[in-house]
């Protein structure tokens, strides 16, 4: 946070504090998995999309790394990795679904 203030970057950490920012990061990461259930169980997405959920184990590992140390140069990548794991699996599943529907 000190570096952000020195560079006139008033980030969310500046506004709500370090501990609450870490909690928010955790809630947003795990909350995305919980909220992704809504379109699946409402029938808006096919059940195959549940195959996204094994990435939660990888995301949990990345969240733990971030929670243990908040050094931008070392741990910023953890959020990128979590996002990419979820998104790439989701994308591959969408491609499979679309390809399957074209072949049927």
What are the pLDDT digits (tens) for 1-18? 566 666 667 777 878 888
Dihedral class, residue 43 (left if φ above 0, else alpha if ψ from -120 to 50, else beta):
left
Q: What is the 3-state secondary structure (H, E, C) of the chain?
A: CHHHHHCCCCCHHHHHCHHHHHHHHHHHHHHHHHHHHHHHHCCCCCHHHHHHCCHHHHHHHHHHHHHHCCCHHHHHHHHHHHHHHHHHHHHHHHHHHHHHHHHC
pTM: 0.82
pLDDT at 71: 83
**pLDDT tens string 18-51:** 899 999 999 999 999 999 999 999 999 999 999 9
pLDDT (mean) for 41-63: 96
pLDDT (mean) for 38-66: 96
């Amino acid at each position: 946070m000190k570096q952000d203030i020195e560079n006139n970057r008033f980030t969310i950490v500046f506004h709500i504090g370090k501990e609450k920012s870490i909690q928010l990061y955790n809630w947003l990461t795990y909350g995305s998995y919980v909220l992704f259930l809504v379109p699946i169980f409402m029938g808006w997405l096919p059940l195959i999309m549940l195959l996204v959920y094994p990435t939660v184990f990888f995301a949990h590992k990345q969240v733990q790394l971030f929670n243990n140390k908040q050094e931008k140069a070392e741990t910023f990548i953890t959020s990128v990795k979590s996002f990419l794991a979820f998104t790439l699996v989701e994308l591959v599943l969408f491609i499979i679904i679309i390809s399957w529907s074209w072949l049927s």
